[in-house]
């Protein structure tokens, strides 16, 4: 158990480092979109659909019992939470794009306004803290499960950083990346001293799943990105195969 905690701490530190130094991966900042980013997106989505969502299906009964009779009309609670996660981050993305468009119309820098920046940073800090917490408390315990979770989310952070840097420009590098890196470590520290119920854990995983799917697809789908479907599909297929073998 002690070794697993230490290993999770090392992975939390590694994920924080991803935020701090992903901006130095200049080979990703190309047009058309880097195949490495598309492959990383595919890996992140594969983890959600092959590992997290099946676990959520198994935990549905636990969540239903915890919700009680008052919410019996909601047959699939965890999937509604995933929808909320997706909608939340879609709203954040639209707020950023609207803010950038408004500043461009005033002949200012193509970046978000300060209020939108802090809204983004606050929301992604909660997102990252959740991931830091889940390094210690996941549906499937063990070193292998922990590494596969951290690897997929580490690549997801690279994709997220790329999008956040495009929206917020220098403000993200000066402040945002440090806050998000600290949020991961804060979430991990909370996980050391607190543990929530099995039903609440399933709900957190569901929200994370919806957020990951939206944050990946918003970077891959827009036509102007000229993303690589082949790289996305290859990343998704390869990681799906690894997950199926591992679990």
What residue ranges do the domains of the chain occupy? 2-20+35-246
Query: Residue 91: which of 123, 115, 113, 114 has the closest Cα?
Result: 123
Query: Residue 236: which of 40, 55, 33, 34 has the closest Cα?
Result: 40
Query: The tokens of 35 are what?
Result: 């195949």
Assess contact for 188 and 136: CB atoms under 8 A: yes
| Mean pLDDT of the region 129-139 | 87
Measured on CA atoms in the order 158, 180, 16, 42, is the torsion positive or negative? Answer: negative
Query: Residue 176: which of 117, 107, 238 has the closest Cα?
Result: 117
Q: Residue 73: what pLDDT?
A: 47
| Mean pLDDT of the region 150-176 | 89
Within 13 Å and on the Cβ side, how many CA atoms surround 115?
A: 4
pLDDT tens string 17-69 = 999 998 777 655 655 567 888 888 889 889 888 887 787 777 676 666 666 65
Measured on CA atoms in the order 197, 17, 28, 40, is the torsion positive or negative? Answer: negative
SS3 of 156-217: the string is HHHHHHHHHHHHHCHHHHHHHHHHHHHHHHHHHHHHHHCCCCHHHHHHHHHHHHHHHHHHHH
Q: Residue 27: what pLDDT?
A: 55
Within 10 angstroms of residue 143's Cβ, the number of other Cβ atoms is 11
Query: The tokens of 206 are what?
Result: 């569901």
Lookup result for tokens 């500043």: 103
pLDDT tens string 96-131 = 889 989 988 888 888 889 899 999 999 999 999 989
Assess contact for 214 and 86: CB atoms under 8 A: yes
**Geometric angle at alpha carbon 159, from 157 and 164, rounded to 5°:** 85
Q: Residue 63: what pLDDT?
A: 66
């Amino acid at each position: 158990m002690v070794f697993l905690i230490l290993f999770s701490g090392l992975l939390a530190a590694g994920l924080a480092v991803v935020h701090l130094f992903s901006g130095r991966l200049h080979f990703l900042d190309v047009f058309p979109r880097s195949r490495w980013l598309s492959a990383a997106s595919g890996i992140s989505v594969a983890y959600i659909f092959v590992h997290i969502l099946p676990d959520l299906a198994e935990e549905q009964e636990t969540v239903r019992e915890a919700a009680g009779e008052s919410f019996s009309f909601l047959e699939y609670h965890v999937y509604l939470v995933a929808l909320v996660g997706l909608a939340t981050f879609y709203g954040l993305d639209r707020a950023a794009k609207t803010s950038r468009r408004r500043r461009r119309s005033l002949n200012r820098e193509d970046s978000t306004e300060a209020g939108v920046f802090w809204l983004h940073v606050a929301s992604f800090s909660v997102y990252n803290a959740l991931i830091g917490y889940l390094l210690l408390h996941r549906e499937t315990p063990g070193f292998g499960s922990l590494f596969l979770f951290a690897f997929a989310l580490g690549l997801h952070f690279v994709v997220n950083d790329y999008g956040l840097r495009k929206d917020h420009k220098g403000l993200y590098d000066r402040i945002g990346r440090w806050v998000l890196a600290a949020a991961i470590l804060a979430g991990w520290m909370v996980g050391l001293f607190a543990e929530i119920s099995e039903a609440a854990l399933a709900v957190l995983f569901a929200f994370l799943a919806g957020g990951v799917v939206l944050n990946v697809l918003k970077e891959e789908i827009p036509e102007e990105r000229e993303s690589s479907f082949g790289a996305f599909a290859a990343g998704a297929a390869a990681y799906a195969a690894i997950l199926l073998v591992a679990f």
